[in-house]
């Protein structure tokens, strides 16, 4: 096997190993309780990992057994994946950049405004067709119920760092002026017309604020945070693909020149 092919085979063997953590990252995201109700979130990461694995495997086989046609296919697919990855990064940034989070005086946690998120997220994630199943899943989950297990006093709760899901779905908006009883029980609002969600709040554990816009905003806030983390993986993958492509293309050209001189 030529030196150039050795280089390509070695680099792609390393890439093959590196694709495994990407796949497991997607599976890990799928297993997180916060993502349990949005099944579509982790699978793009798993898909990227699988493509990365298949690409590296193609390059390794092509180089190790000196299959020039397979190496050419590998270079083409690598270039296509680089372009696709860059496009995905740009689109992900545009979609996830707007944030509906805002701070509330006297509270450590943020609250969330539904209209603060991108129209694409609102239309594709929390549209009526999807929201019914997401809402039912949230009600059946322990996202809100586990807050009661911690036995917060009011000052402790106001000083806690709860998740966007818990902030939006498990309690009424602060502007409503509800009095705290426990994290999912609130009574006697002093400003019931302060927000449309104020009249939607219900102390029934199966209802809470699952019908509120603030809950939809909390779901989108959680999704945005997870995708910001996922984008880091995508950036690393794109950089790795560019490095692989440059090394493989240079080695492939050297192989072609060597064979042309024979």
- Number of other CB atoms surrounding residue 225 within 10 Å: 16
DSSP state string for 76-130 = HHHHHHHHHHHHHHHHHHHHHS---EEE-TT-SSEEE-GGGS-HHHHHHTSSHHH
Q: What is the pLDDT of residue 159?
A: 94
- Would you say residue 83 has pLDDT above 60? yes
Question: What is the rounded CA–CA span in Å between residue 45 and residue 26?
Answer: 5
Q: What is the pLDDT of residue 260?
A: 62
DSSP state of 207: T
* Stated pTM of the model: 0.82
Residues with Cβ within 8 Å of 132's Cβ and at least 6 positions away in sequence, in order, are: none
Mean pLDDT calculated for residue range 27-33: 70
Q: What is the pLDDT of residue 89?
A: 86
Q: What is the pLDDT of residue 157?
A: 94
Q: What is the pLDDT of residue 259?
A: 60
Average pLDDT across the chain, whole number? 85
Question: What is the rounded CA–CA span in Å between residue 252 and residue 245?
Answer: 10
Q: What is the pLDDT of residue 49?
A: 82
Question: What is the rounded CA–CA span in Å between residue 242 and residue 238?
Answer: 6
Mean pLDDT calculated for residue range 141-148: 89
**pLDDT tens digits along 192-246:** 999 999 999 999 999 999 999 999 999 999 888 888 877 888 888 888 888 888 8
Q: What is the pLDDT of residue 51?
A: 84
**Residue with more model confidence, 71 or 224:** 224
């Amino acid at each position: 096997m030529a030196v150039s092919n050795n280089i390509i085979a070695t680099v792609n063997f390393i890439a093959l190993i590196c694709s495994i953590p990407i796949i497991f990252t997607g599976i890990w995201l799928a297993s997180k309780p916060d993502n349990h109700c949005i099944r579509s979130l982790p699978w793009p990461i798993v898909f990227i990992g699988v493509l990365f694995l298949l690409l590296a495997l193609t390059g390794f086989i092509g180089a190790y057994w000196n299959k020039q046609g397979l190496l050419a296919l590998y270079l083409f697919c690598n270039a296509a994946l680089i372009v696709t990855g860059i496009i995905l990064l740009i689109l992900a940034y545009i979609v996830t950049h707007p944030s509906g989070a805002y701070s509330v005086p006297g509270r450590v946690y943020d609250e969330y405004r539904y209209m603060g998120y991108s129209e694409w997220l609102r239309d594709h994630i929390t549209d009526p067709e999807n929201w019914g199943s997401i809402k039912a899943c949230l009600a059946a989950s322990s996202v809100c119920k586990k807050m009661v297990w911690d036995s917060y006093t009011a000052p402790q709760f106001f000083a806690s760092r709860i998740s966007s899901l818990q902030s939006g779905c498990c309690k009424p908006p602060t502007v409503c002026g509800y009095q705290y009883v426990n994290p999912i029980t609130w009574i006697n609002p002093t400003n019931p017309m302060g927000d449309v969600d104020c009249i939607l709040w219900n102390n029934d554990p199966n209802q809470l604020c699952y019908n509120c816009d603030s809950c939809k905003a909390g779901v989108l806030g959680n999704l945005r945070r997870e995708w910001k983390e996922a984008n880091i993986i995508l950036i690393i993958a794109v950089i790795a693909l560019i490095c692989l492509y440059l090394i493989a293309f240079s080695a492939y050209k050297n192989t072609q020149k060597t064979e042309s001189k024979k």
